[in-house]
Amino acid sequence: MRFSNPDRYAAPPRPARPAERHRRSDRAAWLVFCVYSRVVPPLVRRWLRRNWR
């Protein structure tokens, strides 16, 4: 009696998952960008006004 192919009973390969791991980091990056874009320009303007006078 021949042995059957062991791969025949192996679990099928898992399907590729969407990039769920990156969602949290993308949200964090977006949040940092939003905060940066709202906070830094006024600080730069204030710094430029002080140093140019």
- DSSP for 32-48 reads HHHHHHHHHHHHHHHHH
Q: State yes or no: pLDDT of 53 exceeds 70.
A: no
State mean pLDDT over 26-36: 91
Q: What spatial distance separates the first Cα and last Cα of the chain, rounded to whole Å?
A: 95
- What pLDDT is recorded for position 16? 74
CB burial string 13-24: b at 16+ within 10 A, e below: eeeeeeeeeeee
Three-state DSSP state, 11: coil
pLDDT, tens only, 1-28: 566 666 667 777 777 776 566 677 788 8
- What pLDDT is recorded for position 13? 78
Instruction: Give the predicted TM-score (pTM) of the model.
Output: 0.47
For residue 10, what is the DSSP state?
S
- What pLDDT is recorded for position 33? 93
- What pLDDT is recorded for position 27? 86
Tokens of 24: 């949290």
